[in-house]
Structure 1
Amino acid sequence: MLFNSLNMKKETMSDRINQRMKLLRLRSTNLMGATGASKGTVSQWVNGGTEPSARYLSKLAEVLGVTERWLYEGGLIEESIGNATPGPALRRRVPLLSSVQAGAWKEIVEGHLQDVTEWIETTAKVSPYSFSLRVSGDSMDSPPGQGISLPNGSIVIVDPDVEAINGRIVVARINGSNEATVKKLAIDGPNMYLMPLNPNFKPIPFDENCEIIGVCVRVEMNLM
């Protein structure tokens, strides 16, 4: 079936606070000094008893190096620089997943983003829980002059919240496997196919054993 909605357990603000404290090697005393909150108040934030009030949120976000919005909503990590917060043209980070991790995307984002070791910076405007994936093999390497080409090693930015319609490049799980593949979605009447861009590879019929995980919205590729 097509994957069109997010039905997942999201991290709590306490989870995000702990995640940043671990990454930046901060202690509760650092949060106390930066925000002016008492030891008991900070303990509540860290242990999930209560969320920080508006009185403390700005200073807390600053010491954790993130935006207030990310503390509230989670999703893609929005890091701040000094007292500046990311604008629409600034870079954001999305996790770089393996094909197996992408196949288990929902499980990865349900609390295991801290286990991701590689992240990709992008200026793409994407929804929370988007990710990136490295294209493997030559099936998406189209002939010269034939339009878009995704050669081996290209990195695609994938948004699971974008509608998968005819002609879009998608990431899909096929034949009930745990691995994801990058292909072009082709819809011909009642029939659907996952099309390689390389004519040397055969189309894959899209049936009940296939699931679209997300739509590729951008490609990132190093030229050196």
Structure 2
Amino acid sequence: MDIGERILRKRTEMKLTVRGLAKLVEASPATVSQWENNRTLPNGKNLNNLAKIFKTTPTWILNGKDYTANIPLSSNVAEAPAQYNTKSLPVLSQVQAGGWMEALDYRSLGNDIEWEDAPSRASDNSFWLRVVGDSMTSPVGISIPEGMLILVDPDIAPENGKLVVVKLDGTDEATFKKLAIDAGMKFLKPLNPTYPTIPINGNCQILGVVIEAKFKL
């Protein structure tokens, strides 16, 4: 089942007309028809509104995956309440992230895109990135090991002490480090003390500030 079929199925189950769903989503009937025919994809506010109306998640609408689980009563953990104040954002490779400032449009990435739910406070230009290597693995304090997903927001100003994703001159890939500013000089500082600090005065582009990190088990 593709995105359009999922939207059509939910609309039919709720006995809504195209015009009725469009009114609830605050979109035009033509836009809803385009979603159902896979001519365009819902995103941003429209995607979140659809999820609320359908009582599901943006991730389910986009790729059919719903991570809500039924937890037995004997379990020693409680099921988290459903959260609908989220948006789905793409998971980029290091190379895709390196060119994200030029693209700024997930449609330019092709059809094979992985999506992850993100808090609604993240800007629509934000993206997820999977950490590679152990340069941000620390023996003390904050540690972000290989395989963790980090949420990068290009619309947040980078400040001293922030975790950032940057593209160094002469490279196509993005790298993830802590920004350190000292006496007007800027450095990229790994959390792993075995890696060297990198001066970045005028030889890199900061792609965004990391605002969230999570594991996918």
Instruction: Give TM-score scaled by structure 1 length.
Output: 0.65
Of the candidates 87, 96, 103, which is equivalent to residue 92 of structure 1? 87
Aligned residues of 1:95 and 1:116 also touching (Cα < 8 A):
no
Equivalent-residue separation in structure 1 for 2:85 and 2:44 (angstroms): 18
Note the C-alpha offset of 1:84: 5.4
CA drift at 1:121:
1.4
The answer for the alignment partner of 2:130 in structure 1 is 134
Aligned to 2:71: none
* TM-superposed deviation, 1:128: 1.2
- The structural deviation recorded for 1:123 is 2.7
Task: Judge conservation of contact 1:168–1:216 (CA < 8 Å) in 2.
Answer: yes
Counterparts of 1:89 and 1:53 in 2: how far apart (Å)? Answer: 19
Is 1:206 the counterpart of 2:200? The answer is yes
Deviations 1:169-209 (A, max 9, x none): 00000133110000000000121000000000001111222
When residues 199 and 114 of structure 1 are mapped into structure 2, their CA distance, relative to the original with a 3 A threshold, is: same
- Matched residues, percent identical? 35
- Name stretches of at least 5 consecutive residues in structure 2 with no aligned partner: 58-81
Cα deviation for residue 107 of structure 1 reads 3.4
Map Cα deviations across residues 147-184 of structure 1 (whole Å, 9 max, x no partner). Answer: 11110111100000011000000000013311000000
Picking from 117, 120, 124, the partner of 1:121 is 117
CA distance in 2, matches of 1:106, 1:133: 14
Q: Counterpart of 1:214 in 2: which secondary structure?
A: strand
Q: Is the 8 A contact 1:156 1:216 kept in 2?
A: yes
C-alpha RMSD of matched pairs (Å): 3.9
In the other structure, the counterpart of 1:81 is 51
Residue 4 of structure 1 is matched in structure 2 by none
Greater RCO (Cα-Cα under 8 Å, separation 6 or more): 1
Q: Is the Cα–Cα contact under 8 Å of residues 94 and 174 in structure 2 kept in the other structure?
A: yes
Q: Aligned partners of 1:116 and 1:216: how far apart in 2?
A: 24
Q: Contact 2:177–2:191 (CA<8 Å) still a contact in 1?
A: yes
Maintained 8 Å contact 1:170/1:182: yes
Aligned match of 1:155 in 149, 164, 175? Answer: 149
Asked if the contact 1:95–1:118 (Cα under 8 Å) also holds between the matched residues in 2, the reply is: yes
Is the partner of 1:112 in helix, strand or coil? helix
1:190 and 2:184 aligned: yes
CA distance in 2, matches of 1:200, 1:182: 15
Matched with 1:57 is 27
Q: Distance in 2 between matches of 1:193 and 1:185?
A: 6
Alpha-carbon contact 1:76-1:128 (below 8 Å) kept: no
- Name 2:160's counterpart in structure 1: 166
Q: Determine helix, strand or coil for the equivalent of 2:48.
A: coil
Instruction: Tell me how far 1:61 sits from its aligned partner.
Output: 6.2
User: Which runs of 5 or more structure 1 residues have no equivalent in the other structure?
Assistant: 1-21, 37-51
What residue number does 2:4 align with? 24
Question: d(CA) in 2 for partners of 1:201 and 1:82?
Answer: 45
**Is 1:62–1:82's contact at 8 Å kept on the other side of the alignment?**
no
Superposition deviation, residue 74 in structure 1? 5.2
In the alignment, the residues of structure 2 paired with residue 113 and residue 76 of structure 1 have an alpha-carbon distance, to the nearest angstrom, of: 20
Closer, same or farther: CA 180–76 of 1 in aligned 2, 3 Å: farther
Distance 1:116 1:129, change over 3 A: farther
**C-alpha distance in 2, partners of 1:83/1:60?**
18
